[in-house]
Structure 1
């Protein structure tokens, strides 16, 4: 009896097997076989991410390109009349040869004009000191030599010189202070104030690096910020009332420093005396 044989069906080869169109080859391999590890990750060590904290974000940048600098520079002469406003920016754009729509180059609008004013005045103050005429002029008026001016006196001179740079925009400065006090602008405003106090102390010859480095800058920043408020209400043409206020604040600051130094010396004396008495009683101190 003849044996029955079933016809053998040809098995498909591995090459003819196709993955579904919705699943790519790499997905299929990584899901169903084993995870594919890039060859570079085997040879290179993992990169260490630098420290980052959302509690201390990086300050926003306020540097400007050539077109922005040209517009801002041309806007400065319009500030005494039109203030730190979009109109001053538009007029500056026209004077620099740009269209009025170019003011859209400034995402912070009027605040960019304020920042540029502050930074440009700091640069002008530094240039006057580097020329050597500022301290020499003040010393000649007082009949003294430049070398006899100490750091505190030079700081007074620099503070008043910087305040006098605001004379042309004194009527518009209250609006600028209001802009700087807005929540979104406080960070950059304080950064510019700290930069100014640091420049003044450096230009005055203060090179000490000790525990009072920050306190000196904070104290000078407080004096300058309060003097700006007085300047906006000063009716005198030469800012004589503001100068009197600045001199009084520096004298108060000097007296406070002397009190703090005297208190620290007193505490040190009392401490040393207590240690000496304790040792005389046989205490191991």
Structure 2
């Protein structure tokens, strides 16, 4: 419960790419009112517009954003500490409204009800993950534990670290996560849930310095999304306090992914070799190919 006292740090809220409001000035006033959930000691800049990746065309449609006004952000932020006990529920929302100085009836501000609390949790944890990497603390901490230099981590190693760090952010709500997964699996909620999952995998690869722009751009994100989604299910049944079983599962999945990638590359190289050989033989026979 101690970690949830700082559940929405200022830099995490600032770096949320999925939360937008109509103006920046009221947001500053709202953020100032969220003590003690946020620290006042860190510098901040508001970046409310989602970033556009260099790989995306300007003609490519943007992913839909989760739009919340100032009152909704205040209620959702105050509701997060109640999730471990009350889950992603209307009761947690009502308690958050009271803590933020609103009436219980204010939960009607959320058309998607409890699912908005799930989305806000996902977006805020994603923002917190980005803030940790931008501050340089995450990779440095892991490097110090392993006796390595943080600059020596490969892209895949960074992906594994970020996946596990994101999963560990769910530790305090692990007992309630099956309820969140159930809400995300509802037919009407699946598109937005998949959008958030894609945003997470895209962020993880971006933070891992994966700058490759090729035909596998989408397949890498799909593979990482599949690994993370399956690891979340394993996490809900992991009895270990440090999620060691989940970490072992994640490591196996990454190894399987690399093995599958090598097999696919091997098959493609074989097909290419056979094709080039056939073309060479045909030309030696006088065929115009």
What is residue 177 of structure 1 aligned with on the other side?
Answer: 181
Does residue 85 in structure 1 map to residue 89 in structure 2? yes
1:62 CA drift (Å): 2.3
Match of 2:152 in 1: 148
1:138 aligns with 2:148: no
Offset, 1:217: 0.3
Match of 1:99 among 96, 99, 103: 103
Q: 2:240 aligns with which of 195, 211, 236?
A: 236
Structure 2 match to 1:109: 113
Report the TM-score, using the length of structure 1 for normalisation: 0.79
Whole-Å separation in 2 of the counterparts to 1:147 and 1:255: 25
Q: SS of the residue aligned with 2:117?
A: helix
Unaligned runs of 5+ in 1: 1-56
**Gap change, CA 1:265 and 1:231, over 3 Å in 2:** same
Match of 2:123 in 1: 119
TM-score between the two structures when normalised by the length of structure 2:
0.77
Give the Cα separation in 2 of the matches to 1:280 and 1:107. 70
Residue 9 of structure 1: aligned partner: none
Aligned to 1:221: 225
Mark the runs of 5 or more structure 2 residues left unpaired by the alignment: 1-60
Alignment partner of 2:66: what SS? coil
Q: Deviations over 1:206-264 (max 9, x none)?
A: 11111111000000000000000000000000000000000000000011111111111
* Aligned with 1:75 (options 57, 74, 79): 79
- Give the distance between the partners of 2:112 and 2:65, measured in 1 at CA: 11
Deviation per residue, 1:136-195 (Å, 9 max, x gap): 111222221112111110000000000000000000000000000001100100000000
Contact 1:59/1:188, CA 8 A, preserved across alignment: no
After superposition, the Cα gap between the structure-2 partners of 1:61 and 1:202, relative to the gap in structure 1 and judged at 3 Å, is: closer
Q: Which runs of 4+ in 1 moved over 4 A?
A: 57-61
Query: Aligned pair count?
Result: 229
Structure 1 pair 251–242 and aligned structure 2 pair: CA distance change class (3 A): same
Q: Distance in 2 between matches of 1:126 and 1:143?
A: 24
Which residue of the partner structure matches residue 168 of structure 1? 172
Distance 2:98 2:175 in 1: 24
- Aligned-pair Cα RMSD in Å: 1.3
Please name the residue that 1:45 is paired with: none
Query: 2: distance between equivalents of 1:60 and 1:129?
Result: 25
8 A contact 1:164–1:239 mirrored in 2? yes
Q: In 2, Cα distance between the equivalents of 1:61 and 1:142?
A: 38
- Alignment match of 1:256 (pick from 241, 249, 260): 260
Distance 2:263 2:204 in 1: 24
- The residue number in structure 2 matching 1:64 is 68
Where relative contact order (Cα < 8 A, 6+ residues apart) is larger, the structure is 2
